[in-house]
């Protein structure tokens, strides 16, 4: 964050004040994030940050409270990967309480907390909402990564080709109690250069398996028929329907191990998961992909995905 951060407690008595949250305010912060997502169409907190917060493993967090005690803003500083990794900061402000200095106050408070770790801290601007880039630059941060949100419309979802698997490869669902370590090993190998996904731990996996959207059969595994060795996977995500609007499925993660590269598994696994979600009645399917992953972007575009939104990660130059 900022090299010369301003105090966490503003000198202007009318300015928003950042307070240390109580443990029982986790639910309030998560509910705030849900309200912001409903209003903006973009989640302000990543799944990993939500898990870290629910487990009390955040490195720092702060909230802005209103006169009635309700939480109108929150900031969470979480490990970017493992415990020895850098930190990632995410902010959320209630849609009804924006443009009144709450976001700036939260960013300033986080800057004070992280004054010794500026070079390892990044900030995500989910949806690249107005003001987020200016706030990041105020603290000397510049965009270094673009994460695209791509969407497959309903008409394309209804007209997908069937997946074609290489000889000797089969698809099956994840089996809880048996496949955890094999999946963790495959995930770490497939995403060795991806700090968020590649750094998932057994506890992270179990936390996701406890979510109401998790279905073991929705975590598709590509295995070698002769020995059941895990070659790749497509983790699909379909949230329970909540309120009006289209039902959205998500290509949560597609990974292929280095040993299985060249078998066409990326396309086959993606198609298999899309067909599964179509059978569950989703209207559209979203996915997230790094803008500089040209091969993946081309694959998804060839299947009918188009750019829907984007997130930006900021760091100190």
Q: Mean of the pLDDT values across residues 170-194?
A: 96
Q: Are 164 and 264 in contact (CB under 8 A)?
A: yes
pLDDT at 79: 85
Question: How many angstroms separate the CA atoms of 59 and 257, rounded?
Answer: 32
- 53, two tokens: 């917060």
pLDDT at 8: 42
Q: Are 73 and 94 in contact (CB under 8 A)?
A: yes
- The 10 Å Cβ neighbour count of residue 87 is 22
The answer to the question of whether 146 is labelled as a binding residue is no
Closest CA to 252 of 204, 297, 210, 197: 197
Q: How far apart are the first and last CA of the chain?
A: 11
Helices 202-209, 47-54: axis angle to 10 degrees equals 100
Which H or E element spans position 89?
A: strand 87-93
Tell me which of 76-85, 177-186, 284-293 is least confident: 76-85
The answer to the question of whether 187 is labelled as a binding residue is no
pLDDT at 130: 63
Sheet holding 18-19, edge to edge: 18-19, 60-65, 71-79, 87-93, 121-125, 306-315, 142-152, 284-290, 248-256, 230-238, 219-224, 169-173
Question: How many angstroms separate the CA atoms of 32 and 73, rounded?
Answer: 8
Question: How many angstroms separate the CA atoms of 33 and 50, rounded?
Answer: 9
Question: How many angstroms separate the CA atoms of 274 and 294, rounded?
Answer: 21
Banded pLDDT at 99 (limits 50, 70, 90): confident
The answer to the question of whether 261 is labelled as a binding residue is yes
The model's pTM is: 0.78
Tokens 């802005």 map to which residue? 64
The answer to the question of whether 266 is labelled as a binding residue is yes
Q: Looking at the domain 150-312, which fold is it?
A: Aminopeptidase (3.40.630)
Q: What pLDDT, in 10s, does the model give residues 211-262?
A: 989 999 999 999 999 999 999 999 999 988 766 778 999 999 999 999 999 9
Question: How many angstroms separate the CA atoms of 299 and 175, rounded?
Answer: 28
The answer to the question of whether 256 is labelled as a binding residue is yes
The answer to the question of whether 102 is labelled as a binding residue is no
Top-tier CATH class for 18-140: alpha beta
The answer to the question of whether 173 is labelled as a binding residue is no
Q: What pLDDT, in 10s, does the model give residues 231-242?
A: 999 999 998 876
The answer to the question of whether 265 is labelled as a binding residue is yes
Task: Collect all residues with Cβ–Cβ distance below 8 Å to 15 and sequence separation of at least 6.
Answer: 101, 105
The CATH 3.40.630.30 domain(s) of the chain lie at: 18-140, 150-312
The answer to the question of whether 91 is labelled as a binding residue is yes
Tokens 């990967």 map to which residue? 81
The answer to the question of whether 92 is labelled as a binding residue is yes
CA distances from 302 to 286, 297, 314 (A): 15, 9, 30
Q: Which sign does the torsion angle of CA 117, 45, 301, 200 carry?
A: positive
The answer to the question of whether 252 is labelled as a binding residue is no
pLDDT at 116: 45
């Amino acid at each position: 964050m900022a090299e010369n951060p301003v105090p966490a407690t503003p000198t202007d008595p009318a300015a928003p004040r950042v307070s240390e949250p109580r443990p029982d305010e986790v639910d309030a912060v998560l509910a705030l994030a849900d309200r912001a997502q409903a209003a903006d169409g973009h989640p302000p907190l990543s799944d990993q940050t939500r898990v870290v917060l629910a487990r009390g493993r955040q490195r720092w967090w702060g909230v802005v409270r209103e006169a009635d005690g309700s939480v109108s803003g929150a900031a969470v500083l979480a490990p970017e990967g493992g415990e020895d990794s850098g930190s990632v900061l995410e902010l959320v402000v209630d849609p009804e309480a924006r443009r009144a200095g709450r976001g700036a106050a939260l960013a300033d408070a986080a800057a004070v907390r992280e004054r010794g770790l500026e070079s390892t801290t990044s900030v995500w601007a989910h949806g690249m909402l107005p003001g987020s880039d200016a706030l990041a630059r105020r603290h000397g941060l510049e965009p270094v990564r673009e994460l695209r949100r791509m969407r497959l419309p309903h008409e394309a979802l209804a007209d997908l080709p069937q997946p074609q698997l290489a000889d000797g490869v089969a698809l099956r669902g994840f089996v809880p109690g048996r496949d955890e370590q094999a999946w963790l090993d495959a995930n770490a190998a497939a995403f060795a250069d991806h700090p968020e996904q590649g750094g998932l731990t057994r506890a992270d996996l179990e936390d996701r398996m406890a979510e109401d959207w998790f279905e073991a059969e929705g975590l598709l595994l590509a295995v070698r028929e002769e020995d059941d060795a895990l070659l790749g996977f497509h983790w699909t995500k379909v949230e329970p329907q909540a309120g009006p609007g289209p039902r959205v499925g998500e290509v949560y993660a597609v990974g292929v191990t280095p040993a299985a590269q060249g078998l066409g598994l990326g396309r086959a696994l993606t198609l298999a998961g899309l067909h599964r979600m179509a059978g569950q009645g989703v209207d559209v399917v979203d996915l997230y992909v790094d803008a500089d992953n040209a091969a993946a972007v081309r694959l998804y575009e060839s299947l009918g995905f188009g750019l829907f939104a984007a997130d930006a990660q900021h760091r100190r130059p």
